[in-house]
Chain A
Amino acid sequence: MDGTSQAPNCAAPGAERAAAPGAGPGSGRQFLTLSGQPVKAVYRPEDAPIDYARDLGDPGRYPFTRGPYETMYRGRLWTMRQFAGYGTAAETNRRFKYLLEQGQTGLSVAFDFPTLLGYDSDHPFSDGEVGKLGVAIDTLADMERLFEGIPLAQVSTSMTINGPAMVLYAMYLAVAEKQGADWRQLRGTIQNDILKEYYAQNTYIFPPQPSLKIITDIFAFSSEHVPKWNTISISGYHIREAGATAVQELAFTLANGFTYVEEGIKAGLDVDCFAPRLSFFWDIHNDFFEEIAKLRAARRIWARRMRERYGAKDPRSWAMRFHAQTAGVSLTAQQPENNIVRVALQALAAVLGGCQSLHTNSFDEALALPTEQAVRIALRTQQIIAEETGVTNTIDPLAGSYFVEALTDQMERQAEEYFRRIEEIGGVVAGIEKGFFQKEIADASYAFQRRVQQGQYVIVGVNKYQMEEEQPVPILKIGEDVQRRQIRDLRQIKRSRHRRRVSETLRSLAAAARRGDNVMPPLLDAVRAYATLGEICDTLREVYGEYREQAIF
C-alpha cells in the first residue's frame, strides 16, 4: 500500500526530485553500495526468486553457497591468522611466538620487497627496503631462524609470496625436513597467484607464460609430495586494494582461478588431483551486505564452473575455501582508533560470509607496520566475534534474506558478464597484455576517489567529522641497522657454504628450466646448498626473461 498520495505535501517547493535508481520511500538521494550499485528501499520475495536446492543447498553441499563444510564454525572455528613480518627473521620469529601465545591459530608471513621481487638484501636496488615492509629472507638460514622453536608439523603457515613462490616454498620444505617433519603432514598456503600480480599487486618477476608453467610444476609436485598444502591462494584482495569494485574483485579473481584450472588441465593433470588444493583470498571492505553477498556468490560460481565446465567429480574440487582480510585500503590515518571499529565490522562480514581463515588489520596500519599492542587488539577482535557474539552458532544466518539473496544473484550475474568480456578479449593473459584489467581498475579507483572528494561517499574523520588537532599514536619503526645486520649475516653464509655445490645446483636448475622439467626438485637442492634467493631468481631470469609493466593510469 502506498499511502503517500493522500498525505499533504509539507515539503518545501523544489524538494521533490525524480526517482533515481536506488531511490525509494523516504529519499531524495541515491542509495548506493560502496561499489556504486543501486540499492532499493525494500526487497521482497520477487527480488530473490530462490530455488533452494539449485541456488543454495545446505552447507557443505553443492553449490556451496552456504559454506564449504557441513558443520562450519560449529565443527571448528576459522583460523585466526595475522599477517606478520618485519626486520630480520629473528625479530619476526619473536612476533610469531607472541601471536601464538595470544591465541592465534596459524602463521602468515609478510616478506620485504627485496624478497618479494627475488633480490638479495645486498643488491643495490634493495637499499633502503630491507626488512621494511616484511621480513628479509636471503637463504635457507633465514628461514630456519624464522621458524626456530615453531614445529612446522603442528602449525599451518601461509606465505604471501608470488614471483619467487617456488623458492620460498622450497625453503619451507627444507626447514621442515631439518625439523624432521613429514611433508605429507604439512599444512599451509603459498599465495603463488601470479596473474593478479600483473595488474594489481605488482610483485611479478618473469613473464606470464613461464610463471604459469612454474605454478603447474608446484601443483604437480605438491599433489604427490605435500598433499595437504594449498598450492595457490587465488587472491582478490590485491585487486580490490588496487581500487577495483567488489564485482571486479569477484569476477577478475574467479577468471584467474579458471585460468589456473585450464593450465593444469592443459599440462595433463587430472582436475580432481589439484583442484581440491586451490584456495582463495578475499578483501572485506566497508559495505557489510555487499561483502557477504560477494563471498556467497563466489562459492556458488566456483562450484558451478568446476562441475559443469571443467568436469570435476570430487566435491572438494567444487567447494571454495578462502582466507579473508579486512580492507587495508579502508583504514584511515586520521583518527586511527576509528579503524578498530571498521575492522570489527568488516571481520563480522567475513565471518557471516563463511571464511576459513581471517586476518584483521591493526588500527595503526595506515601509518606504519603494526605495533604489538595494535596487533593484539586486532586479534582480540576476532576472538570477541568468535566467542562473545553468538554469530557462530548457526551457519549462513543471512540465507533467505531477500536483500542478501538478491544481491548475491546480482553479483553472480555481473561477474558472468565480465567472464564473457574476458573471454571475448582472449582470456586473462591477453587481457593483461592489452591492459584491460589495469584500465578497468584505474577507472574504478579514480571514480571512487571522486565520490569521496565530492562527499558522496563518507569516510569518517577524513571528509566528515574531521578534527583539527589529533593526538599522535605510537608507531613501529624499522631501524636502518636491520639492513646492515642482514647483509652481514648474508656475507657470513656466503663465506661458509660449499661454493661448488651452490654452482652445481644452480646449473641443474637452469638445465631443468630450459628442458621444461619440473623445477621443484632442483630448486630444493639449490636451497639446501644455501644458494641465495637472488642467485636462484637470477638463474631463472636468464632462462625465462623478465616482465615489464605497461604504465597505465
Chain B
Amino acid sequence: MDRPIRVLVAKPGMDAHDRGAKVIARAFRDAGMEVIYTGLRQTPQAIVDAAVDEDVDVVGLSILSGAHNTLVPRIMDLLRQAGLDDVVVVVGGIIPDDDIPALKAAGVAEVFGPGSDLDRIVEFVRQAVRERQRIG
C-alpha cells in the first residue's frame, strides 16, 4: 500500500485571504491525503523549508493578493535549489488568464481560479503525483 499523498498548503506573501486555502486543505484531507497548512504570511524560503521538512509530494500555493508574478517564480527557484524538482506545485487564487502561461513555464503544474471544482482539484493532484512517481 502506497503512503498517503502529503500536501503542503501555503500562503505566500502578505495576502490575508485564507478561506480558499482552508477549504482546499480540508478537501485534500477528506480525500485521504496528509495536509500541512502553513498559515499566513510565509516567505518563499519558509515555504520551501517546510516542504523539505515535511517531505511533501505537493505544494499548493494560495494567492489572491496579485503578488503571484513575484512570489511564485521565486518559490519555484528555491524548490529547485532544494532538490525538490519532483514536487507538484499547484496555484489557487485570483490569477489573471494572461499570467498563467508564465507561471506554467516556471514549473507550476496547474492554476485553479475562483469557482474551481474541489473534486477536480483533488483528482488533478492525485494524477500528477502518480505521473511524477512513475517518471521518478
**A interface residues with partner B (beta carbon < 8 Å):** 113-114, 116-117, 119, 125-129, 132-133, 201-203, 241-243, 329, 331-334, 366-369, 442, 445-446, 449, 453, 459, 462-463, 472, 475, 477-478, 480, 549-553
How many Å from the CB of B126 to the closest CB on chain A?
17
Taking the complex as formed, is B34 at the interface, i.e. its CB lies under 8 A from any CB of chain A? no
If A333-B115, A449-B118, A453-B118 touch, whether A132 touches B66 (CB-CB below 8 Å) is yes
CA distance A119 to B41 in the complex (A): 13
Q: A126's closest neighbor in chain B, by CB? A: B14
Binary A-proximity of B36-54 (CB < 8 A = 1, otherwise 0): 0111110100000000000
Q: Given A126, A202, A329, A331, which contacts B18 in the complex, CB threshold below 8 Å?
A: A202
Q: Given B13, B16, B71, B98, which contacts A116 in the complex, CB threshold below 8 Å?
A: B16
Q: Given B38, B40, B114, which contacts A202 in the complex, CB threshold below 8 Å?
A: B40
How many Å from the CB of B117 to the closest CB on chain A?
7
CA distance A129 to B67 in the complex (A): 5
Q: Given A114, A329, A366, A463, which contacts B14 in the complex, CB threshold below 8 Å?
A: A114
If A334-B115, A442-B22, A551-B37 touch, whether A480 touches B69 (CB-CB below 8 Å) is yes
- Are the CB atoms of B113 and A333 closer together than 8 Å? yes
* Complex interface: chain A residues within 8 A of B41 (CB): 117, 125
- Are the CB atoms of A243 and B23 closer together than 8 Å? yes
* Complex interface: chain B residues within 8 A of A116 (CB): 14, 16
- Are the CB atoms of B114 and A332 closer together than 8 Å? yes
**B interface residues with partner A (beta carbon < 8 Å):** 9, 13-19, 21-23, 25-27, 35, 37-41, 43, 65-67, 69-71, 94, 96-98, 113-115, 117-119
Other A-B pairs, 11, CB within 8 Å; known A202-B40, A332-B115, A446-B23? A113-B65, A125-B43, A127-B67, A129-B15, A333-B94, A334-B115, A459-B115, A462-B115, A472-B97, A480-B69, A552-B22
- Are the CB atoms of A551 and B115 closer together than 8 Å? no
How many Å from the CB of A201 to the closest CB on chain B?
6
CA distance A549 to B37 in the complex (A): 12
Q: A128's closest neighbor in chain B, by CB? A: B70
- Are the CB atoms of B96 and A129 closer together than 8 Å? no
CA distance A201 to B94 in the complex (A): 17
If A241-B19, A242-B19, A453-B118 touch, whether A549 touches B39 (CB-CB below 8 Å) is yes
- Are the CB atoms of B18 and A128 closer together than 8 Å? no
- Are the CB atoms of B19 and A553 closer together than 8 Å? no
- Are the CB atoms of A446 and B22 closer together than 8 Å? yes
CA distance A276 to B98 in the complex (A): 48
* Complex interface: chain B residues within 8 A of A126 (CB): 14
Q: Given B14, B16, B19, B38, which contacts A125 in the complex, CB threshold below 8 Å?
A: B14
How many Å from the CB of A375 to the closest CB on chain B?
17
- Are the CB atoms of B65 and A549 closer together than 8 Å? no
If A442-B26, A445-B23, A462-B115 touch, whether A132 touches B18 (CB-CB below 8 Å) is no
* Complex interface: chain B residues within 8 A of A129 (CB): 13-15, 65-67, 70
Q: A131's closest neighbor in chain B, by CB? A: B66
3 A-B pairs with the lowest CB-CB distances in the bound complex, closest first: A128-B70, A551-B39, A128-B67
Q: Given B23, B37, B65, which contacts A449 in the complex, CB threshold below 8 Å?
A: B23
How many Å from the CB of B98 to the closest CB on chain A?
8
- Are the CB atoms of B40 and A133 closer together than 8 Å? no
- Are the CB atoms of A133 and B19 closer together than 8 Å? no
How many Å from the CB of B49 to the closest CB on chain A?
15
- Are the CB atoms of A333 and B114 closer together than 8 Å? yes
CA distance A329 to B114 in the complex (A): 10
- Are the CB atoms of B96 and A242 closer together than 8 Å? no
How many Å from the CB of A459 to the closest CB on chain B?
7
* Complex interface: chain B residues within 8 A of A203 (CB): 16
* Complex interface: chain A residues within 8 A of B117 (CB): 453, 463
- Are the CB atoms of B115 and A128 closer together than 8 Å? no
How many Å from the CB of B30 to the closest CB on chain A?
9
CA distance A445 to B71 in the complex (A): 27
- Are the CB atoms of B23 and A453 closer together than 8 Å? no
Q: A365's closest neighbor in chain B, by CB? A: B94
Q: Given A128, A475, A480, which contacts B96 in the complex, CB threshold below 8 Å?
A: A475
Interface centre among B22, B40, B41, B71 (most CB of A within 10 A): B22
CA distance A303 to B110 in the complex (A): 51
How many Å from the CB of A330 to the closest CB on chain B?
11
CA distance A356 to B114 in the complex (A): 31
* Complex interface: chain B residues within 8 A of A201 (CB): 16
CA distance A462 to B114 in the complex (A): 9
If A128-B67, A478-B66 touch, whether A202 touches B16 (CB-CB below 8 Å) is yes
- Are the CB atoms of A128 and B23 closer together than 8 Å? no
* Complex interface: chain B residues within 8 A of A128 (CB): 13, 66-67, 69-71
How many Å from the CB of B68 to the closest CB on chain A?
8
- Are the CB atoms of A113 and B96 closer together than 8 Å? no
CA distance A373 to B118 in the complex (A): 32
How many Å from the CB of B91 to the closest CB on chain A?
14
Q: A242's closest neighbor in chain B, by CB? A: B19
- Are the CB atoms of B26 and A553 closer together than 8 Å? yes
If A462-B115, A475-B96, A551-B37 touch, whether A117 touches B22 (CB-CB below 8 Å) is no
Q: Given B17, B43, B67, B94, which contacts A367 in the complex, CB threshold below 8 Å?
A: B94
How many Å from the CB of A403 to the closest CB on chain B?
30
How many Å from the CB of B107 to the closest CB on chain A?
18
Q: B119's closest neighbor in chain A, by CB? A: A453
- Are the CB atoms of A133 and B65 closer together than 8 Å? yes
CA distance A366 to B94 in the complex (A): 7
* Complex interface: chain A residues within 8 A of B114 (CB): 331-333, 366
How many Å from the CB of B96 to the closest CB on chain A?
6
